[in-house]
Amino acid sequence: MLITYGLLGLSILSVWFPDVRLSASLRLPAWAVLLLAAIVSGLATGILAPLALPSIVVFIVLAAYAQRVSRRPGAKWLSRLLLLLTMLAALALALHLLPGFHNPRIIDKLVLSPGGAPFSQYLNFDKGLAGLVLLALFCVRAQNWPEGVQAMKRAVPVMAVTLAAVVGTALAIGFVKPDLKFPDITLQFLLVNLLLTCVAEEAFFRGLLQGRIAAFLGNTSSGELAAVLIASVLFGLTHAAGGWRVILLATMAGLGYGVAYRYTKRIEAAIASHFIVNAVQFLALTYPYLRG
């Protein structure tokens, strides 16, 4: 299991690595090589059943074709159709609607905070796969370390406002209370949350959805603002199972993540904003929320 998810995690990180040169004329993205290794390992360990392979192949081919067609002039409607199908396929993976994925549960109904609700954590291969492919093919990323650092610096004020607004609102409505802690599972939880939750959700809602809505509206200032609002509301609605308070907080957080992406034009800023909010809640507040 560790090998499979280690390879999947490395494949996500390797999106920022140079391509792998197989010969003088053949180069492959590092993420694709590592993802293939993760899939083989997953099949060998039973994390993936053979039934998962058609979904994986169809999604990757569909996303790659959608990305290629989107660059062609005169293929507007085909491009939109393929992007819509890619979004639906990514959602199906992220929501665990496709067969053949046996995602192990690594935290089982743990009560972490006094008065807090129990929570579980899964190693979701399907959601991680969706996030990886969208990150690699559709997100605007920093091309080097200085560019990434500059994007992060520009996003700091947005991150600070987002964190203050979300935490302040959560405290005000009685969703959480202060609870400083550093449990034994901290590093495991945060690493899984970063790679399999924050990356996947930001790649979809900001990199793909917000970016394509803004392009559809002509990349004007009003169009980009509308894209931020639409993506944020949809992000909030995907948390509807948690009730109105979770919808409210997720929508507020999504607005901050969306502004960070729009302001910096780099997905790293949105991912970092999302991760900081989640990490602060885990380490300093009731996690996941106070029981009613």
Torsion 59-61-63-65 (CA) sign: negative
AA identity, residue 271: I
Measured distance CA(284)–CA(265) in Å, rounded: 30
Look over the chain and give the mean of its residue pLDDT values, rounded to a whole number: 94
pLDDT for the residue 70: 83
Strands (E) in 57-118, as ranges, are 105-110
**pLDDT single digits (tens) 175-223:** 999 999 999 999 999 999 999 999 999 999 999 999 999 988 888 888 9
pLDDT for the residue 162: 98
Measured distance CA(207)–CA(273) in Å, rounded: 14
The tokens describing 186, both together, are 């901290």
> How far is C-alpha 52 from the chain's CA centre?
21
Q: Of 28-32, 65-69, 90-94, which one has max mean pLDDT? A: 90-94
Q: How many helices (H) and strands (E) does the chain have?
A: 12, 4
